Amino acid sequence: MGNMATEIIAFLLTISGWILISSTLPTDYWKVSSVDGTVITTATFWSNLWKTCVTDSTGVSNCKDFPSMLALDAYIQVCRGLMISAVCLGFFGAILALVGMKCTKIGGSETTKARITCLCGLHFILSGICSMTACSLYAHRITSEFFDPLFVKQKFELGAALFIGWAGSVLSILGGFIFCFSMTEGFSIREYSYNGATSFISTRTKITKMGKNPETTQKDPPDQSFTGRKFGRNAYV
């Protein structure tokens, strides 16, 4: 029962993390323009992995999609690939979790379900690592440009999407480790009970065989001294 509750908690953590990671991908504010060192305060520049936009003081936004994927900076292409991989890994991990959890009636035997649960945990761990790597790489680019004194273009700050992505990554990794831990705990309990049953059966078999074959039981050796004395008296008689 405790192992099932652990799997349910891990499932809630991983699904919550996967939802946060999925919502990070289309979120607008990956980076937002900073007012530090600029005289233009009536317009706000912001962008994500797909487009760059500007919002004026009246609240009107004008956006422009990135025209060419091959003309993008390398770090944006890497972040795109990592985030899409994170979403796909989390999707397949959720399907494996529904099959491998003990509270479901699909997946086969307990050993098979335990292996599927372990594979599910690995999927979510990889999903969290991909998302965390993408957000960290994007944030590193923003901070390096912000603190570079030779960078004279518009400087940006960290957007809300990065913090959402980091939170989802932590939840996915934590839930994935809990899935793997629950699998190892279940294997250790089954192995202990199996060995105990085997030893009990083998001991019972030995006792049964000894009862059916009385010839195998050890007997006390006859008293040789008494036999010799009796033979000696008969010889004298």
What is the DSSP track for 149-190? Answer: TT--S--EEE-HHHHHHHHHHHHHHHHHHHHHHHHHHHHHHH
Q: What is the pLDDT of residues 175-233, one digit of tens each?
A: 999 988 876 655 544 444 444 444 444 445 544 445 554 444 445 555 554 444 444 44
Please give the pLDDT value at position 129.
96
Residue 220 carries which DSSP code? P
Please give the pLDDT value at position 217.
46
Q: In which residue are the tokens 């195998």 written? A: 216
Do the beta carbons of residue 146 and residue 156 sit within 8 Å?
A: yes
- Higher pLDDT, residue 77 or 108: 77
Please give the pLDDT value at position 194.
44
Please give the pLDDT value at position 40.
58
Compute the distance between CA of residue 179 and CA of residue 101 in angstroms, rounded to an integer: 9
Q: What is the pLDDT of residues 17-40, one digit of tens each?
A: 999 999 998 888 899 887 665 555
Q: Binning pLDDT at 50, 70 and 90, where does residue 45 land?
A: confident
Q: Binning pLDDT at 50, 70 and 90, where does residue 134 land?
A: very high
The Cβ-side half-sphere exposure at 157, using a 13 Å CA radius, reads: 8
User: Considering the domain 1-189, what is its CATH architecture?
Assistant: Up-down Bundle (1.20)
Do the beta carbons of residue 156 and residue 45 sit within 8 Å?
A: yes
Mean pLDDT along residues 63-85: 88
Residue 61 carries which DSSP code? E
Please give the pLDDT value at position 222.
53
Compute the distance between CA of residue 67 and CA of residue 69 in angstroms, rounded to an integer: 7
Please give the pLDDT value at position 2.
54
Please give the pLDDT value at position 124.
95
Mean pLDDT along residues 68-83: 89
